[in-house]
Amino acid sequence: MSNSQDSVVSSTLCIIGPTASGKSGLAQALAESGLLGPCEIINMDSALVYRCLDIGTAKPSSDDRARVPHHLIDLCNPEDRYSVAAFLRDCNAALEAIHSRGKRALVVGGTMLYFKALRHGIDEIPSTNEEIRLEVAEQAKRLGWPAMHERLRAVDPVTAARLAPSDAQRISRALEVHRATGQSLSQWIAQSQSRKLAVGAREMKTFPVVSLEPSDRALLHEAIEGRLREMVKKGFLSEVRALRARAGLTAEHPSMRAVGYRQAWAHLDGQSGFESEAEFFQRALEATRQLAKRQITWQRGFRGLERIDPQTTPLDQMMTVCASLLARA
């Protein structure tokens, strides 16, 4: 890394954790406390990049955003597609800009693919055109995602083995790549990694990282349920009704595959198992708990993190840990 990159890394703190673990609250408190000096926050949540997805994403309030500058929020419309590569480009640009202003950057979120890309870079995968994406989406509409998962297994068993049959976005991406190039996604990844090894392993960006890891799963589930109830009370279903009225937006767009939005759309569609509001709530709650489980699994696989249990560690103590971590960077 260059001296400039070293400076950006040493002035940056990442905060990761499962949904409802208190990441945003910790980042906001740190930035407002002045403990780290002037700070700006960079979002690392894939749903917050979309405009009009406010209630169901627990998007930072206008007051919070007025007190502390936030980046990578409301970047695109719900009909757009935002990729890991786009995040990496936008995040690195925001990091450079914040550093140039003499401030610290707090990169905060639970989209672990984004975090992995920021730390390690991304593999070189070809893009696909809209026509192929629409073909795959139309086929999925007719056959269902479990059937599409079986089709993926036939052409790319390596990728299929690591994806759940309900993982629409990643199944679609893998099928699109195969249809566009004639090669499987796993082949493209293997080729990309071989090229990197030929020129030397990628250098990991050693940002100081605080990983919030709740020890009591039952308490985390209670927090998730409480937050979901609050979202419903604030008008989450009305928000999704308005989104459904947008011309061109479908349930297959990545924005509407976000946890909560997917279940709300199915409820408003009257799909079997989602007809009542109680059924919607239970399905959304289960999906959010599953998301948290996946996030925690990701976290356990990363090395070199400062792991904190937010359920047993007071906020001021967590802030002190963050400050000491940055001081050692």
Return the pLDDT at 4: 52
Contact status, residue 98 vs residue 267, Cβ threshold 8 Å = no
Mean pLDDT of the chain: 91
pLDDT tens-digit readout, 68-85: 999 999 999 999 989 888
Domains and CATH numbers, the chain: 3-124+202-215+296-328 (3.40.50.300), 130-197 (1.10.20.140), 217-292 (1.10.287.890)
Average pLDDT of span 278-303 = 96
Residue with tokens 């269902």: 144
3-state SS class at 210 = strand
Which percentage of the chain shows pLDDT scores above 90? Answer: 76
Residue 127: pLDDT over 90: no
Question: What global pTM score does this model have?
Answer: 0.81
User: What is the CB neighbour count within 10 angstroms for residue 204?
Assistant: 12
| Six-digit token string for 69 | 């500058």
| Of 52, 31, 29, the residue nearest 40 (C-alpha) | 31
Main-chain dihedrals φ then ψ at residue 135, nearest 5 degrees: -60, -45
Q: How far apart are CA 107 and CA 104, in angstroms?
A: 10
Residue 85: DSSP 8-state: H
Residue 5: pLDDT over 60: no
Return the pLDDT at 120: 81
What confidence category does residue 201 fall into, taking pLDDT thresholds of 50, 70 and 90? Answer: very low
| Of 234, 241, 244, 237, the residue nearest 279 (C-alpha) | 237
